[in-house]
Structure 1
Amino acid sequence: MGMTDNAASPRSALTEPTVRVGRRWISAWTAALFGMYMAYYAAAQIVLPEQAEAVAGDGKVALLAIVTGVASIVTIIVVFLSGVLSDRTLSRRGRRQPWVLTGAVITGVFVAGQGFATTALAMVAVWALANVGISLMTAGLFAAVPDEVPVTQRAYVSSFYSNAVAVGPLVGIALVSVLVTDIQPGFLLLGLFALVLGLPYALGTRGPQLLVAERPPLSIRSTLVGIVAPLRHADFAWAWSGRFFIQLSNALAQVFLYFYLQDYVHYADPEIGTLILVVVYTVGVVVAALPCGRISDRTMKRKRMVVIASVLQGLAGLIMAFLPFFPAAIVAALVLGLGYGAYAAVDQALVTQVLPHPEDRGKDLAVINIANVLPYAATGLIGGTVISLFGYPTLMILVLVTAVIAALTVWPIKAVQ
């Protein structure tokens, strides 16, 4: 079967795609993800904390918590609503492309504009609007995969998502840490990248057009019911649970990494140590994602690969719990990256195979995205409590436990091998 540079074909938007996407489509889709994650993570991890300190001084931690907390709530709401609305979009370019375009513009404008926020209220408001744009892009790009990519190519395509979510933040952090170190130019650069890298997919590809007769009805009641409706399908509910626990495992391993090195490993320079471990982790993700995606597409046995990847990620926590030495932390970072890289590529493909209804792909993937966001919102409370009561070894054991739970939730899924 031939390849195509975009997956559009004269078929219903609600049928399964059969024509493989080509390199140009994959490159454009990956570039949009890369720019989005570069802007989000580099801003959130470097420039936003610097801005919080400049605005609030000693109150920087509280301000940053409010800014990111409000943004998390916005993300959950907007991703869901944009998924619902993109499922009903009749654009000739496809259901998802207009939303990616709108999201790229909003992201670019408000990430760039974040540098001009000089009060706490302005910081909260502008970053919330930036997350509106990021949420629109997320909903559109994730739903594009089941819309435009055949099932036998989805893990391979999803491996580029793994690479984008690992390499994009690293490049962004390097840019605002080394090349552009001032707050305002840093935000401007990140906003520009988010906009420019989002355009090739939004303007250069076409998805299958939804016809008026295929358009699902829309009401407030159906929208609210739509939040929980897919969870009534056992396969979808198990997939949602697995995503929640693997993201919780990954978050617990990474969010407190700086303090783990400082307080438990007693590494001399935890900032440099954290950077080294992030680089090693990224290498692991990139090395694992592509070959695991190819193997999964060739064999169509998703569950086994997800289980192996989950357990591998959990083993990183075991290493960090009982070997408090920096060389061991490097090994753990590599293992964590290999596990998460394999997981992200294959599980993203698995999830697209358990979506209950083709007319609700965007909305249902938005529900899956809640399982991506909630763990990071809860990690601060869970991790902080565990560290204060039991210490870092228990925290890292929890990394293992949650990863094993994620592995166990995959086995009951019946629609996927």
Structure 2
Amino acid sequence: MSASLSTPETATATAPKPVGPLFISVYALAMFGIWMSIMLPASVTLALRISEINPEGKTTSYSIAAGIGTLTALLANPLFGRLSDRTRSRFGRRRPWIVVGLAGTIVGAAIIGLSDSIPLLLLGWIVMQAFVNAAIAATLAIVPDHIPARQQGLVGSLSGTASAAAVVVGVFFVQWFPSNILAQFGLPVLVAVVFSTLLLALFRDDAPADDDIEPFSVREFLGSFYINPRHSPDFAKFLAALFLICCGLGVIATYTVYILQDRIHAPEADLPHLITLAYVIPGILAVVSAPIAGWLNDRTGRRKLVLGIDAVIVAAGILVTAFAESVPMFLLGVCLVAGIGTGVLYGSYIGFAVATMNDPATSARDLGVTNIAITLPYSIMPFAAPLLLGIGDGGPNYPLLLILSAVLTLCGFVPLLAIRSTR
């Protein structure tokens, strides 16, 4: 079986050929490098850099940076996906944007590393978030473009596996380079460049977009962020189900530390160790469960069943966390949600998205909108949560917040069961 890809002269001509273990391995490494280049700053090193520049106002500055970064990612991923879908370069429509995305990521990381003020750091973070999402959008689109349907679940799951692995490696990475800013921002980007270069070397036959594409207009621009339910009913239902399931994931991801402090009453001295466990163990479970879920999707074709089971796992984990009164029970709940639940979702969503898409010519844009459905709950839930946490006396009402999050997750069954184009 060939390691490289063979594609037609235009983007929509013939079905793709199967890919071999070499290409699959290099694709996984490229996704790992790209995800690590942004996940490590987003989770750890950006906060450390802000605390160096503005130690007194670090909390406010980090909140601003996190919000701006999330908004930039939400807009950039589908927009660059749309541009990639329309690219008619002789080098193809995906390869140029992988290169442009990595180049912009290098520039953004350099600005952050050299910045001596918060405004300059924010500029670097915006540049980095925008261009790394260009690389992500183009790399993810390789799956619907060039991977046959019977391999899409497995190969698509590698993106989720890479994302989870990047978080786990990032926890140890900061311990290896605790005070070296150049290493903290530069080495992850270098890893992304090296592995992506290997991918580009294998992915030689990237086809350009078709010649009959309409001119890029304001309508086309706005269409980068919207899916018409009448034109793509099953894809819209899938996005709704994905959004609802991720509402539960977003609450656990946001309030893990505070639940340990306020609900479990973990001793302050044990908190760093427990936080590490609460991220590393679920991260390892996600790395393991994502490819298994992708394989199950390919093997059985029962994408609705796999994602439905995942919704039950996530809801069950949230409820365990809601009523946990000890560290072991808390870790069990987090492992179900952030470990197995996240892993199965990451292993399923790309293959499911591709199975419900209507137009292969807009696959990168569609996957960008899928990314919005996954990411948006992580931004919305922290804003809505204080309304629930403030109900009642005796401190934050975490049980109420978590129970309603579990209900929202299970509501994902409604649009999921209505999908007709896949089982």
**TM-score normalised over the length of structure 2:** 0.92
Higher mean C-alpha displacement, 196-205 vs 63-72: 196-205
Q: Which residue of 1 aligns with 2:366?
A: 364
Deviation readout 1:96-115 (Å, 9 max, x if unpaired): 12111211222133224312
C-alpha spacing 1:411/1:4, structure 2 compared with 1 (3 Å): farther
Q: Which residue of 2 aligns with 1:74?
A: 72
CA-CA distance at 1:339 after TM superposition:
1.9
Question: Which whole-Å CA distance do the structure 2 matches of 1:189 and 1:44 have between them?
Answer: 15
Q: Which residue of 1 aligns with 2:177?
A: 179
SS of the residue 2:105 aligns to: helix
SS of the residue 2:56 aligns to: helix
Q: Which residue of 2 aligns with 1:375?
A: 377
How big is the alpha-carbon RMSD for the aligned residues of Structure 1 and Structure 2? 2.0
Question: Which whole-Å CA distance do the structure 1 matches of 2:209 and 2:379 have between them?
Answer: 38
SS of the residue 2:115 aligns to: coil
Higher mean C-alpha displacement, 44-53 vs 304-313: 44-53
Matches within 5 A, 1:297-376: 297-336=298-337, 337-376=339-378
Which structure 2 residue ranges, 5 or more long, are not aligned? none
Q: Which residue of 1 aligns with 2:82?
A: 84
Question: Which whole-Å CA distance do the structure 2 matches of 1:229 and 1:392 have between them?
Answer: 34
Q: Which residue of 2 aligns with 1:147?
A: 145
Q: Which residue of 1 aligns with 2:409?
A: 403
C-alpha spacing 1:211/1:76, structure 2 compared with 1 (3 Å): closer
Q: Which residue of 1 aligns with 2:43?
A: 45
Residue 415 (structure 1) aligned with residue 421 (structure 2): yes
Q: Percent of counterpart pairs with the same letter?
A: 26
Deviation readout 1:172-198 (Å, 9 max, x if unpaired): 231113334333431222332232232
SS of the residue 1:370 aligns to: helix
Matches within 5 A, 1:18-417: 18-210=16-208, 212-232=210-230, 233-268=232-267, 269-336=270-337, 337-389=339-391, 391-417=397-423
Deviation readout 1:88-132 (Å, 9 max, x if unpaired): 222344321211121122213322431211101011100000112
Contact 1:283 1:334 in 2 (8 A): no
Question: Which whole-Å CA distance do the structure 2 matches of 1:136 and 1:73 have between them?
Answer: 14
C-alpha spacing 1:326/1:17, structure 2 compared with 1 (3 Å): farther
Letter in 2 for 1:126: G
Letter in 1 for 2:34: M
CA-CA distance at 1:26 after TM superposition:
1.6
Contact 1:158 1:293 in 2 (8 A): yes
CA-CA distance at 1:11 after TM superposition:
5.7
Question: Which whole-Å CA distance do the structure 2 matches of 1:230 and 1:139 have between them?
Answer: 20
SS of the residue 2:356 aligns to: coil
Deviation readout 1:55-96 (Å, 9 max, x if unpaired): 222321111111122222222222222111111222344321
C-alpha spacing 1:394/1:4, structure 2 compared with 1 (3 Å): farther
Superposition misfits of 4+ residues, deviation over 6 angstroms? none
C-alpha spacing 1:222/1:109, structure 2 compared with 1 (3 Å): closer
Letter in 1 for 2:361: E
Contact 1:253 1:399 in 2 (8 A): no
CA-CA distance at 1:211 after TM superposition:
5.6
Contact 2:248 2:409 in 1 (8 A): yes
Aligned pairs, how many? 415
SS of the residue 1:353 aligns to: helix
C-alpha spacing 1:158/1:229, structure 2 compared with 1 (3 Å): closer
Question: Which whole-Å CA distance do the structure 2 matches of 1:311 and 1:104 have between them?
Answer: 38
Contact 2:86 2:93 in 1 (8 A): yes
Letter in 1 for 2:262: D
Question: Which whole-Å CA distance do the structure 1 matches of 2:125 and 2:201 have between them?
Answer: 26
Letter in 1 for 2:184: G
SS of the residue 1:213 aligns to: coil
Which structure 1 residue ranges, 5 or more long, are not aligned? none
**TM-score normalised over the length of structure 1:** 0.93
Letter in 1 for 2:375: V
Question: Which whole-Å CA distance do the structure 1 matches of 2:79 and 2:205 have between them?
Answer: 20
Contact 2:79 2:224 in 1 (8 A): no
Letter in 2 for 1:392: Y
CA-CA distance at 1:249 after TM superposition:
1.4
Question: Which whole-Å CA distance do the structure 1 matches of 2:334 and 2:126 have between them?
Answer: 31
